[in-house]
Structure 1
Amino acid sequence: MSAAVTHLIVGPDGHGVTEYALALARHAGGAVVRDTGPLPPGPVHVTFTDHLFGPSPDEAVDRVLARCAGHPLSISLHDIPQPEEGAERFARRSPAYRRLAEAGDLVAGNSRHEASFFDSPVEVIPLPVPVIESRYEPEPGTVGVLGFIYPGKGHDDVIRALAGTGLKVRALGGVSAGHENWARHLRELAAECGVDLHITGYLSDADLAAEMGRIAVPVCAHRHYSASGSLMTWLGAGRRVLVSDSPYTREMAGQWPGRIGIVSDWRTSLLDAASSPTPPIGAAAGWDWPQVADAWAQAWVDLWPAVSVVIPYYNNADGLREVVAGVRAQDYPGPVEIVVADDGSSIPPPELGCVVVRQEDLGFRAAAARNLGTAAARGEVLAFFDGDTVPAPGYLRAVVPHVVADRRAVVAGTRLTGPGRTEPAWLRQAWDRTGHLSRPDETSWRFIISAVLTCARSFFDEVGGFDATIVGYGGEDWEFGFRAWHAGAVFIHEPRAVATHDEPDWGGRSPDAAQKNAESIALAHRVTHPSARPAGVFFEAADICVRVPSFVAPGVAETVIAGWLRAGDVFVITDTVPELFRADPRVRTGAQGQRITFTLALPAVPAGPVADLVERICAAGGDAELTVGQEVAAAARTRRREALGGETVTLPVDWEIVEGPRRLERDFAGW
């Protein structure tokens, strides 16, 4: 299985935190994005210390959260704020670190001491103890401090403690960028104290191992720290280390007994250790990078939601076996359950270890079967496959991140059909035209295919699932897509999510006009867009509703209502239905347009059909004030805009304002 995260790594090679991030990525696997590269969908892991990500702690956190917005966020926290670093610095850094920990989906520190700093739960994944082959050839009287040189690392405390002792200090590592003056200060301090100080500069792994073997007394003399790679390195070489007293070092001494000496008086402890050096006692093995990477990998699984795969089934045992095998071959990191929804088969589904639910055979009821399967499902994400459509490896890993990033995502996979395993031309053209649905329009529901469909369980329930009243082949996915669009769906085509269907697409089989016509008729009753129904036919649901207030002047309401009924697929809503329209089912006291509702502020009548105006309003965002001259004649709002919210645009319209009173006989007769 490939790694469950993308590693976002910021900072220069050689920096301790950056090197931790790179090593974790090497051992755990997964894509690596350095600094500003684009992040692929899915969880992101960040190895964080504030000064690598921004000029201030707050800006560093802001950058991480902005960069990783829409991704489940895993964070390895380093350089945790400590009171010992100074009141001002501690006060400046602490809120930022706590805010980042609150925002992360998975947050881990390197010790229990670090975890106790945070108000929210923080996992503990200790730093690795790398096994280091270091030949033990100590030079008498050498005290070694390992790692970058910067204030607070304790070099100065060790130098002062050794004043006049004749012991030597070897600093194994380079000077941290920006702290060259501190290195100069240490040299001056050593000269004042009569201490031989040698700074090695940067060391390769092999040179570092050799230099460690030359040290008689290893020390970690930090004034304040909550984790230390230097300490782990000494332990990995099997050395007993003298450390400054802190909650962290006491925790480590308990974890690695006999290997850590906690110091209360540096001068006494160093002199005693130098007089009787402790030979290597064997590497503290068992917690190297493979174990650390495995601990992270187990934690990352929780960043992937549980998926329920729902498969309708009807008398095709071999097809079901192939689909289930395809699902079980997925490399999806999170839990996956399979629910088989039997649509009244005479040949029961084979025993495959899946959840099986069954409905009575009342005809081809794929929509009802999918709803039945969903009712038995427990996952946060629903993935639908037909009983003869087999997902290729990587399918779930490709689609689920879109749903995690946006609970309104409705993701269509790529279904390859027929012996040639090709995608139908009409779909390929749709993906090209819409940028894989990144530029959808009011007709893009036609590209939602239930054989390869994924969405959030919560959004599926909000939409109302599939229309279980649809009986017969096809159409239930387009109808679902239509309602989902108007509930605020974000349509996505994921080309990497591939599934295969051995038979040709419907268009490639022997055409069955009666079957396809039955589907079209069923959709015409349910999908109100003009592309799905003929003009001039009355349906139970209208595409457009117009709310007409009670205009007082005689004849005005009747003229306005009649004008709107001529404007297209319209229902008119009034407080009281005028006598003229008592037999017309399109004039009601309550209804809602499937796509758009106009609410009149003036007695205004369009000059002709309003279909083009509706498309303009939808394209502009779905919420508009319509003006005649300087006056607002009506407000228009789509159901999609009701779901999503947003700004209102102003559009001028060429409508007639009906003045009253009106003599209806003149309107009827046209004179």
Structure 2
Amino acid sequence: MSMRPVLLAPAGPHGVAVYARAVADDVRALDPSFRVATGPDLDALAAGTPLHVHVTERLWGPSPEEATERLTALARRHPLTVTLHDVPQASDGERNRPRRRAFYAAVTRAAHAVAVNSAHERALLAEEGVWDGPVEIVPLPVPAVAPGPRPRPDGTAGVLGYFYPGKGHDEALAAAVAADVGRLTILGRASDGHAADLDAFVRRAADAGVAVAVTGWLDDREMAERARAVSVPVIAHQHVSASASLTSWIGWGRRPIALRNRYVDEMAALRPGTLLPVEPSALAAAVRAAVEDPDATWHGIHPVPLGPADVARAYLAWWAALPAPDGVPAASASAECPRQADAPYPDAACPGHSTPADAPWVVGNRWDLVAGREPEPPRVSVIITHYDQPAELARTLAALAQQDHPADRLEIVVADDGSPEAPVVPDGVRLVRQDDRGFRAAAARNLGVAASTGDVLCFLDADTTPEPGYVRALTRLPALLPEAVTVGRRRHADFAGVGTDVPVAEAGPERELPEPSWLREEYARTGDLLRADDRSYRFVIGAVSACSRRFFDEVGGFDETFTAYGGEDWEWVHRAWQAGAILAHVPGAVAWHDGPDWSGRDIDRTREGNRQTLRLAADIPVAGSAGRGLLPAAPDLVVHLAGEHPEAAVFLCVDAVLAAFPRATVVLDAPPTLAALAADPRVRSGAVPDARVVWHLDLPVLLDGVDALAERLAQLGQGAEGRLRVSAADGTIVGTAVSRRARRRAERWGAEVGFDGGEIVASGVHVLRDEPHLEAWVGGWGGLERFT
């Protein structure tokens, strides 16, 4: 009897999850009798029901170790056929490579049968010592995209997919410089934890004379349009498992230039004429030749061999040839659905399981919607930043030993910022150190995180000692809502002469110093940050904060260019807020700081306050934090006028937008031909920047008195509303504005969740007619009828 597995179809935006859903749909299109399991179905499946699972560790847990636990537990209950993705290799680095090998080895041992997407991956399994048993090869399909007219080349070299070091962007940049191609398009966004790497790459490219456009997340239609428009498609990463980027280029009709490696050679032989394989030394010459002969980057083959239906048939044939498993595994107490209540994102375990009642997200910043819910105690890493405070550190470590959080779920890491002598820590506490190069709390915290393994990160300073319920209280929300960033209550006392083993909950009230009144007032005004906004980062103190590891990695670590006291925590929290963070003050999580608040210290507070304000002004371009007239380094509001329109209408629209919003950036689809527009640095073309608010205009408009609209745009993303449909005075829908917070939530969850949509009929917005009376506008005479 052959295998007929139920197909697991994970939710979420991860590429492997998207591919798994597509394969399930394609298989059912050929044989509707196959069943698909999504989340809630999994618990109802009888033990012994065969399952097919697409595997990469990120779909199954926040760490390879937890992913191993969850997937092997599933294998104890169900016979598994697995398709392995992202197979371990040298480019994983020596820190992650052994852990990933162990995960894949455990999966292959537990599985009934194993498949990969290429002979290259099968060889990697053997070379890495993961698996040398039978392996089926089912290639990635080329998407079935109907051919269409070729767009006008946009003059850029394009690299497709998430940005991360080693993906080939540096090689593509070097080739663009050598080939005198002045623009590079990154079709996608930074991979989780690599936003800073992307920023550095963009600056490095600018220094080399190449302008980089980053599209950010695009839906399938938008991505196909942008990819078909680039002049030179490039695949330049040599360390590859299998590549959906490669098959996507081919599916869009492109013939990308690809650096030769074992996988590229295999794919070129599999689909002749669809790739331009080149040696690394020949990449620049190939890019230059493609610029001179654009037709060479199109293959014209339709349909391309091995499309989705072919791959579905290959899976059906494989399962039909497999013997049925011997016996049925008995259900046991340890067998469980791999979805856990504390799974960081839907793609971290058995995606699709969440229902509205247990979904790990809430609308806007409404952390109160999970009142009464208690998670299983998460695996917590406490990161303690320390510099030459041995007594204070001893007090804090003693207090952590008395926490009511389960000790076997608590890890402590001391990150020492170059103390003259290494601090003494008890057994079981991990110590990491960095050289003394001045105040580098940001770098020390990042060092501590890198050495930790917990699912929730809890930050403390050595002189900030927690009461017994601190860890449990502060980590509750991040365990329930992976986007939550929590801040505890920092009280102040003079502990001079108090033994390090004396509980601070007893000694603190007797020696208490004033708490900053402004902070108490803001927590009261905002309902413990329930009503947070773009400037609420100022109320999150890094020394008493917590967040999930997955969210920390996605936002990126603390900015290590902060090398003086203060500000690094506020900059990180602002980035987190823009990424969709849920901010919450937890007054029950109390930690005592040994000494007065900043305002009570013997320092020049005005000078120090100015230093922090000036340092943050460029990083946080929101009203009240940045200057009033200076253009910000990154745009806060972007207005994107889409499509082609008469020059006069474009001129009037851009002029009116910038008159109403002087610090905005306007993006046109094509480079402006009018000198008056081209001369203004606020007018751009090409990719739309990832601004706090992006207003997509489908029609050119005239703006005249738009205070109400400006207020709604400023408020976008602050509460429940993350998307605003804008209509002109006559009711015509002219476009939609979307906040970065809403965009990032949509990318994270693979759907528009966490924010509601709003509407406004703006009396000051008027649709411009095809040929408005331009002289009347410039001369300042004539009524609206001359323009609309």
So what's the TM-score if we normalise by structure 1? Answer: 0.53
Of 643, 649, 652, the residue aligned with 2:758 is 649
**1:660 Cα shift?**
4.6
For residues 386-409 of structure 1, what are the alpha-carbon distances to aligned partners after superposition, in whole Å with 9 as ceiling and x for unaligned? 121111111112122222211111
Q: Distance in 1 between matches of 2:463 and 2:380?
A: 20
Q: Distance in 2 between matches of 1:406 and 1:389?
A: 25
Q: Distance in 1 between matches of 2:456 and 2:710?
A: 36
Q: Distance in 2 between matches of 1:434 and 1:310?
A: 28
CA gap 1:668/1:471 in 2 versus in 1, 3 angstroms: farther
Tell me the SS of whatever aligns to 1:337. Answer: strand
- The code of the aligned residue for 2:676 comes to L
Contact 1:413-1:493 at 8 Å conserved across structures: yes
Contact 1:340-1:373 at 8 Å conserved across structures: yes
Q: Distance in 1 between matches of 2:411 and 2:400?
A: 9
Q: Distance in 1 between matches of 2:377 and 2:448?
A: 22
Please name the residue that 1:364 is paired with: 439
CA gap 1:512/1:431 in 2 versus in 1, 3 angstroms: closer
Q: Distance in 2 between matches of 1:606 and 1:620?
A: 26
**1:327 Cα shift?**
1.6
CA gap 1:405/1:540 in 2 versus in 1, 3 angstroms: same
Contact 1:548-1:600 at 8 Å conserved across structures: yes
Of 582, 586, 602, the residue aligned with 1:490 is 582
Please name the residue that 2:731 is paired with: 630
Q: Distance in 1 between matches of 2:551 and 2:567?
A: 20
Please name the residue that 1:444 is paired with: 536
Q: Distance in 1 between matches of 2:715 and 2:375?
A: 44
For residues 519-550 of structure 1, what are the alpha-carbon distances to aligned partners after superposition, in whole Å with 9 as ceiling and x for unaligned? 11221111122121121111211211111225
Please name the residue that 1:612 is paired with: 711
Number of aligned pairs? Answer: 383
Greater relative contact order (Cα < 8 A, sep 6+)? 2
**1:616 Cα shift?**
4.0
Contact 2:375-2:479 at 8 Å conserved across structures: no
Contact 2:535-2:625 at 8 Å conserved across structures: no
Q: Distance in 2 between matches of 1:457 and 1:96?
A: 28
Please name the residue that 1:327 is paired with: 400
CA gap 1:586/1:101 in 2 versus in 1, 3 angstroms: farther
Contact 1:603-1:658 at 8 Å conserved across structures: yes
For residues 287-339 of structure 1, what are the alpha-carbon distances to aligned partners after superposition, in whole Å with 9 as ceiling and x for unaligned? xxxxxxxxxxxxxx994222111112222222222222222221211422221
Tell me the SS of whatever aligns to 2:529. Answer: coil
Q: Distance in 1 between matches of 2:375 and 2:579?
A: 29
Q: Does 1:407 align with 2:506?
A: no
Tell me the SS of whatever aligns to 2:394. Answer: helix
Q: Distance in 2 between matches of 1:356 and 1:469?
A: 23
Q: Does 1:350 align with 2:427?
A: no
Tell me the SS of whatever aligns to 2:632. Answer: coil
Please name the residue that 2:553 is paired with: 461
Q: Distance in 2 between matches of 1:565 and 1:554?
A: 17
**1:663 Cα shift?**
6.6
- The code of the aligned residue for 1:627 comes to S
- The code of the aligned residue for 1:336 comes to L
Please name the residue that 1:582 is paired with: 678
**1:424 Cα shift?**
1.7
Tell me the SS of whatever aligns to 1:379. Answer: coil
CA gap 1:358/1:659 in 2 versus in 1, 3 angstroms: farther
Tell me the SS of whatever aligns to 1:555. Answer: helix
**1:361 Cα shift?**
3.6
Please name the residue that 2:526 is paired with: 434
**1:382 Cα shift?**
0.4
CA gap 1:670/1:642 in 2 versus in 1, 3 angstroms: same
CA gap 1:584/1:345 in 2 versus in 1, 3 angstroms: farther
For residues 240-294 of structure 1, what are the alpha-carbon distances to aligned partners after superposition, in whole Å with 9 as ceiling and x for unaligned? xxxxxxxxxxxxxxxxxxxxxxxxxxxxxxxxxxxxxxxxxxxxxxxxxxxxxxx
Q: Distance in 1 between matches of 2:595 and 2:420?
A: 22
Tell me the SS of whatever aligns to 2:716. Answer: helix
Q: Does 1:310 align with 2:383?
A: yes
**1:421 Cα shift?**
4.2
Of 322, 337, 340, the residue aligned with 2:414 is 340
- The code of the aligned residue for 1:571 comes to T
Contact 1:554-1:662 at 8 Å conserved across structures: no
Please name the residue that 2:647 is paired with: 554
CA gap 1:455/1:302 in 2 versus in 1, 3 angstroms: closer
**1:591 Cα shift?**
4.3
Contact 2:571-2:619 at 8 Å conserved across structures: yes
Q: Distance in 1 between matches of 2:568 and 2:663?
A: 22
Please name the residue that 2:700 is paired with: 603
Contact 1:452-1:499 at 8 Å conserved across structures: yes
Q: Distance in 1 between matches of 2:455 and 2:380?
A: 6
Please name the residue that 1:378 is paired with: 453
**1:617 Cα shift?**
3.3
Q: Distance in 2 between matches of 1:451 and 1:603?
A: 49
Please name the residue that 2:691 is paired with: 594
Q: Distance in 2 between matches of 1:472 and 1:668?
A: 50
Q: Distance in 2 between matches of 1:591 and 1:569?
A: 16
CA gap 1:359/1:535 in 2 versus in 1, 3 angstroms: same
Of 658, 662, 665, the residue aligned with 1:571 is 665
- The code of the aligned residue for 1:670 comes to G
Tell me the SS of whatever aligns to 1:372. Answer: helix
Q: Distance in 2 between matches of 1:630 and 1:97?
A: 47
Contact 1:620-1:649 at 8 Å conserved across structures: no
Q: Distance in 2 between matches of 1:96 and 1:649?
A: 34
Contact 1:554-1:660 at 8 Å conserved across structures: no
- The code of the aligned residue for 1:637 comes to V
Q: Distance in 1 between matches of 2:43 and 2:651?
A: 65
CA gap 1:655/1:362 in 2 versus in 1, 3 angstroms: farther
Please name the residue that 2:635 is paired with: 542
Tell me the SS of whatever aligns to 2:721. Answer: coil
Contact 2:392-2:594 at 8 Å conserved across structures: no
- The code of the aligned residue for 1:491 comes to L
Tell me the SS of whatever aligns to 1:398. Answer: helix
Contact 1:528-1:594 at 8 Å conserved across structures: no
Percent of aligned positions that are identical: 38
Q: Distance in 1 between matches of 2:738 and 2:41?
A: 42
Q: List gaps (5 residues or longer) in structure 1.
A: 1-94, 103-117, 122-300
- The code of the aligned residue for 1:622 comes to G
**1:648 Cα shift?**
2.2
So what's the TM-score if we normalise by structure 2? Answer: 0.45
Q: Distance in 2 between matches of 1:530 and 1:442?
A: 9
Please name the residue that 1:234 is paired with: none
Tell me the SS of whatever aligns to 2:647. Answer: coil
Equivalences for residues 38-187 of structure 1 within 5 A: none
Q: Distance in 2 between matches of 1:620 and 1:401?
A: 22
**1:442 Cα shift?**
3.2
Moved more, 630-639 or 313-322: 313-322
**1:383 Cα shift?**
0.3
Tell me the SS of whatever aligns to 2:490. Answer: strand
**1:445 Cα shift?**
2.2
Q: Cα RMSD (Å) of the superposition? A: 3.1
Please name the residue that 1:131 is paired with: none
Contact 2:513-2:595 at 8 Å conserved across structures: no
Contact 1:486-1:639 at 8 Å conserved across structures: yes
CA gap 1:522/1:662 in 2 versus in 1, 3 angstroms: farther
**1:615 Cα shift?**
3.2
Which of structure 1's runs of 4+ aligned residues deviate more than 4 A?
A: 95-102, 118-121, 608-611, 662-669
